[in-house]
Amino acid sequence: MKFSPGDFRDAFVWRKEQTGATITHIVQETGISRDIINKLISRSLSSTSVENAIALAGYFGQPVDQFIDEALAERKSYAAGSSPADPRHVAVRLQRLRGALNLSKSEIADAIGIDRSSYIKIEAGQKALKPEWACRLWDLYQVSCDYVYRGELGSMPDELRVALE
């Protein structure tokens, strides 16, 4: 299969978001500079060197062609069939958030005022997070609904945003 220069960038961003990989961990594991990774994510670079592509795909345990092909197919399937607010996608973001805040499932459940079994189902993608519970996340931790429901990191405290990147 033939890929365009931007395909690797798109595949990398997709895979990073879906796995919850952090820039810090990617830098540590691959030796690629934070600056290059940030430029790739922000579209300042449409692609990267062959060596960096091999290292980044390897970080996710795949050769470059398989990495691009599978990530783009997943992204296409996602775009066709589910929204960012799908409980499965919200669940991934809540798991990442809980890790960034260094809280247990019980602590989050208690903080937002829901029973633990409900929160466990929400974080497993089996139950939707109600808007009033998302609002409690804002009240307690300044976690925006844009992040919870759409994955957008914009309006959060810098320290939390960096931890979630």
One domain for residues 32 and 74: yes
One domain for residues 48 and 94: no
Q: Which 3 state secondary structure label does DSSP give 10?
A: helix
One domain for residues 70 and 104: no
Residue range 126-160, pLDDT digits in tens = 888 888 888 888 888 888 888 888 887 777 788 88
What Å distances lie between residue 10 and 1, 60, 141, CA to CA? Answer: 16, 14, 30
One domain for residues 97 and 65: no
Residue range 50-104, pLDDT digits in tens = 888 889 888 888 888 887 887 777 767 665 555 667 888 888 889 888 888 999 9
* Torsion sign across C-alpha atoms 9, 11, 34, 102: positive
Q: What is the mean pLDDT of residues 97-121?
A: 92
CB atoms near residue 132 (< 10 Å): 10
- pLDDT of 1 > 60? The answer is no
Work out how many domains the chain is built from and give that number: 2
CA atoms of 11 and 57, how far apart (whole Å): 9
The model carries a pTM of 0.52
CA atoms of 99 and 133, how far apart (whole Å): 18
Task: Answer with the one of 60, 81, 102 that is the final residue of a domain.
Answer: 81
**For residue 73, what pLDDT is reported?**
75
Task: Answer with the one of 50, 81, 112 that is the final residue of a domain.
Answer: 81
One domain for residues 112 and 141: yes
Name the token pair of 57: 């795909």
One domain for residues 73 and 95: no
Q: Give me the domain span that covers residue 55.
A: 5-81
Residue range 2-60, pLDDT digits in tens = 556 678 788 888 788 777 788 899 999 999 999 988 888 877 776 678 888 889 888 88
CA atoms of 131 and 139, how far apart (whole Å): 12
Say if residues 133 and 140 touch (Cβ distance below 8 Å): no
Instruction: Kindly report the CATH number assigned to the domain that includes residue 72.
Output: 1.10.260.40
